[in-house]
Amino acid sequence: MRHIAIIGSGPAGYYTAEAAQKQWGDEVRVDIFDMLPVPYGLIRSGVAPDHQSIKGVSRRYEATALSDNVRFVGNVMIGKDVSVPELQGLYDAVVLATGAPHDRKMDLPGENLPGVYGSAAFVGWYNGHPMFAGLDPDLSGDTAVVIGMGNVALDVTRILAKTREEFAGSDIVAHALDVLQTSKLRKIVILGRRGPHQIMMTPKELGELSHLTRAAPRVDPLDLPEEGEDAFLEPGLRKSVSHLRSFAAIPESHYGDTPIEVEFDFFASPKAILGTDKVEGIEVERTKVEAGRAVGTGDTYTIPAGLIVCCIGYQTSRIPDVPFDERAGRFANDEGRILPGLYCVGWARRGPSGTIGTNRPDGFSVIEKIGEDIAAGILGHGGKQGRAGFDELAAARGLDVVTFRDWKKIEAEEERRARDDAPREKFVVVDEMIRAREG
């Protein structure tokens, strides 16, 4: 019998469990650990609440979770409740699938001022992650600046711009919806260091901006390259740039009819966050693109703003006893191998890149490597206790483990609490989640 411990119950974790089942069938037991009492990681707390079709992938993970040889072990923090070396003593292989839940720092003066947030925190706030539920951003100003040219920046912008009615069918949490209804924003500036041909935004997400009830996107035609240059772009990016061109063609008179303007500010690099007791603006340097890189021109200007959300990337959480690559912001690894018997997968392996689906081949790849290491004798000769050993350890330490059956009770209660136009109302406090499992 093979005993595998997977740390993290998001897409990378469940795809890895699925791969282990396909590799060893009934001869494997997989325990999937999570620090929260609820599974699915990024699907629950990272995917935009108004993108319910994407969240539907969790049904695939549920099928894996309900199989006889996979177990969810929630409400257990690795590195605090139990160490990685202890897990290595109990399981043949330990796979870190912890994602990249922390914001990458901008390293700018003033970035710690009140009113400045990283996207992990801000997205976690409107998605109900317990770590960020108390954020309470101030939306009383008339301008917000969103830094970044990827889909997360678009998600944040769209959530800030939507009306209450446009959230019908989403699972945005009530505390965020209440704050967003008080918003006085009249302008959202999306700031990017490079130009339209270097954006990471996908066509679907860009296209959504043109369907907002009270907001209209604005692009300066002078920021767009000659249209003939679009022919050299890969098809997805070419379609995204076509959306930007359509935004640039919107007549000036249209903006007088929409309460919120979403302005794309290309060739703009943030230099400092301004303010005394809270954020009041951002200093920006105009750039030009040389050999694909943004180069400062020395021309600076200021954008007044009462809210800044930085969407420039994420990094993995450090765990005691696990080598960490400081520069890359992920675990130090060689194609998923960290140490004998210790592996990583997904964003914890490669950094925050790719789509949710990218984690599936990544999970199968790391299981292949575990199989190779078993065949090579690197992982010893088996005989480890696996989940029976962990259960004994958990009982001795008084750990309050949450099972997948418990999670289904929590889920049922979230669905019962839902607004009439929402699929669920998430619990945002861990103690409330645990109480809800009592039914």
Pick the CATH number of 102-314 from 3.40.50.300, 3.50.50.60, 3.40.630.10, 3.30.830.10: 3.50.50.60
How far, in Å, are 82, 98, 151, 367 from residue 59 at the CA level? Answer: 29, 20, 24, 22
167-171: average pLDDT = 97
**CATH classification code of 2-101+316-402:** 3.40.50.720
Within its chain, how far is the Cα of 248 from the centroid? 30
Report the pLDDT value the prediction gives residue 14, as an integer from 0 to 100. Answer: 96
153-172: average pLDDT = 97
pTM here is: 0.94
396-411: average pLDDT = 97
Within its chain, how far is the Cα of 414 from the centroid? 21
Per-residue pLDDT tens digits for 220-231:
999 999 999 999
156-163: average pLDDT = 98
26-44: average pLDDT = 96
pLDDT band at 256 (very low <50, low <70, confident <90, very high): confident
Residue 381 reports pLDDT greater than 70: no
59-67: average pLDDT = 93
CB 244 within 8 A of CB 196: yes
244-267: average pLDDT = 94
pLDDT band at 120 (very low <50, low <70, confident <90, very high): very high
Report the pLDDT value the prediction gives residue 355, as an integer from 0 to 100. Answer: 84
Report the pLDDT value the prediction gives residue 382, as an integer from 0 to 100. Answer: 66
Give yes or no on whether 2-101+316-402 and 102-314 have one common fold.
Answer: no
Q: What percent of the chain has pLDDT over 90?
A: 91
pLDDT band at 383 (very low <50, low <70, confident <90, very high): confident
Report the pLDDT value the prediction gives residue 101, as an integer from 0 to 100. Answer: 86
Residue 380 reports pLDDT greater than 80: no
Per-residue pLDDT tens digits for 72-108:
999 999 999 999 999 999 999 999 999 988 888 899 9
194-208: average pLDDT = 96
Per-residue pLDDT tens digits for 293-344:
999 999 999 999 999 999 998 999 999 999 999 988 999 999 999 999 999 9
Report the pLDDT value the prediction gives residue 353, as an integer from 0 to 100. Answer: 84
The Cα–Cα gap between 436 and 428 comes to 12
219-242: average pLDDT = 97
Q: Any idea where the domains of the chain sit in the sequence?
A: 2-101+316-402, 102-314
Report the pLDDT value the prediction gives residue 378, as an integer from 0 to 100. Answer: 87
Number of residues that make up the chain: 439
